[in-house]
A and B are shown apart, each in its own frame.
Chain A
Amino acid sequence: MKPPQIENIEVDLLLEAIFRRYGYDFRSYARASIERRIRQFLADIGGESISQIIPKVLYDRDFFMQLARRFSISVTEMFRDPFVYRAVRETVAPMLRTWPHIKIWNAGCATGEEVYSLAIVLKEEGVFDRATVYATDFNDEALARAKEGIYEIDRLREASGNYQQAGGKSSLSAYYHARYDAVAMDSTLKQRIVFSNHNLVSDHVFGEMHLIFCRNVMIYFNRELQKRVLGLFTESLARGGFLCLGTKEDLRFTDFSGRYAVVDDRAKIYKKTVADG
């Protein structure tokens, strides 16, 4: 048997061990990316084989948490793909204004860069005050950081160009307070954001939504899990509600394309056209 075949078995066993011991189900994650993260983790701790770390994962919760952190880290930046935020501003926000109260779900918010970007756009378009924004993630540590809203100043500087390209009406610095080499996002942005733990793998619908923002999260899932999550989103969305995916995620490659109309193909913004799930 070749080493990659053996490694494949080891990855299966590790993910099964994690699921049965801790209830976190990474078995339906996209395989190549999770394998890479496991290999990196192994290299960092100087481990020789994946099977070697299985006993430690089973008996040592802290060790498992270290590994789990690796699985859930997602690196994003504020106003990544500025044209997406421009489309939200120009196309989605005017429609959102037609509802008296709007609920928005940023699913898989990680450390919060995306939800603050969205909040800024909604605020500038005058719909933030009538919105409740749910920012959810299954990783409590990431969620705590999102809630804190403290970022490196260098990253905000990079983002300010993107903010302008997204049609920003002010200056990004109007939305944060700088101290030394860090910035804290303005507290008025947090007023309408509810940060809470939600696991797309196992949790259910928690409210009717008018906009679901879930960018570059499902690329980490396999087809089966992707289908579950899209089902969840479709069930959650009000008729006429919007779904915004990553720019390289296409509903055409899923079973759900018939239930949505394309609002902006490049920004991957869709509108639910059917009445129920």
Chain B
Amino acid sequence: MAGFYIMKGDGSHDRYRAVAIGGSAGGAAALETLLSCLTGDFPLPILVVQHLHPADGGAFSRQLARTVAPEVIEPCDKERIEAGRVYTAPANYHMVVEREGTIGLSIDGKVNFSRPSIDVLFESAANAWGREVTAVILSGASADGTEGMRAVRAAGGRTIAQDPAEARYPLMPQSAIDARVVERVLPAAAIGQLLHALGSREKAAGPCGMNLLPYG
């Protein structure tokens, strides 16, 4: 895990405000594995885009809520983003982050044949949280997420891909790795442990301050 945090000249490191996770085929199982490593008091919000059937009707979110400790919500438009909650994008909507710290939903056209699209979430998260967001790409038979990971990297955020060797469908993490926008490649459980450690460190560091608006 050494080297994951950027150490500033004064020895302190950057704070984190949010985690964004994208998954497609095989992603739901990896997501469960990952989130099972976290406790209910995880100090950051987690935003998830998992590609879903348009008629999912919240079933994915309800299933996930039964299996992991943090509270899982399929949000409505303009819901306030709170620490320790997992927000899963509803089927047939794109989910974005607004800079004031709320969820935005849209029915704009599909991106990468997908709605919700991982790129759409990651790009908005990069815009809202800049270097303070960590993006994770999981199993999938799609290239969705690669451009979003690029945006997160460009904004100075952290990027992690599930190890394609472990992923049920390696294409999606591999696509991001090939685009050279991934910092760490790990199995899903190790990503969960890494996030757990990051969360513990955030908790130890105390409240993050009131500033949810990195750019005012």
A residues at B contact (CB < 8 Å): 2-5, 7-8, 30-33, 35-37, 73-76, 80, 216, 218-220, 223, 226, 246-250, 253
Taking chain A's interface residues, is the majority helix, strand, or loop, or is none over half, making it mixed?
helix
The smallest C-beta distance from B107 to any residue of chain A, in angstroms, reads 5
- Whether A33 contacts B104 by the Cβ 8 Å rule is yes
Known: A226-B78, A248-B77, A249-B77. A74 touches B126 (CB 8 A): no
Known: A253-B78, A253-B79. A31 touches B108 (CB 8 A): no
A253 to B76, CA, bound (A): 9
Known: A37-B108, A216-B107. A4 touches B78 (CB 8 A): no
Q: Is B48 an interface residue (CB 8 A)?
A: no
A250 to B80, CA, bound (A): 13
Known: A2-B215, A75-B109. A32 touches B97 (CB 8 A): yes
10 contacts between A and B (CB under 8 A): A2-B215, A5-B215, A31-B104, A33-B96, A37-B108, A75-B107, A75-B109, A80-B92, A219-B104, A223-B78
Known: A32-B124, A75-B109. A249 touches B76 (CB 8 A): yes
- Whether A2 contacts B130 by the Cβ 8 Å rule is yes
> What are the 9 A-B residue pairs with the smallest beta carbon separation, nearest first?
A32-B96, A250-B76, A219-B77, A32-B124, A5-B215, A33-B106, A75-B109, A248-B76, A216-B107
- Whether B107 contacts A32 by the Cβ 8 Å rule is no
Q: Is B144 an interface residue (CB 8 A)?
A: no
A159 to B106, CA, bound (A): 20
Known: A4-B215, A248-B77, A253-B76. A76 touches B96 (CB 8 A): no
- Whether A33 contacts B108 by the Cβ 8 Å rule is yes
Which of chain A's residues has its CB closest to B110's CB? A75
Which of chain B's residues has its CB closest to A31's CB? B98
Q: How large is the interface on B (under 10, 10 to 19, 20 to 34, 35 or more residues)?
A: 20 to 34
B residues at A contact (CB < 8 Å): 75-79, 90, 92-94, 96-99, 104-109, 120, 123-124, 126-128, 130, 154-155, 215
A80 to B98, CA, bound (A): 26
A233 to B133, CA, bound (A): 38
Which of chain A's residues has its CB closest to B120's CB? A36
The residue among B76, B94, B98, B104 with the most chain A CB atoms within 10 A of its own CB is B76
A80 to B105, CA, bound (A): 16
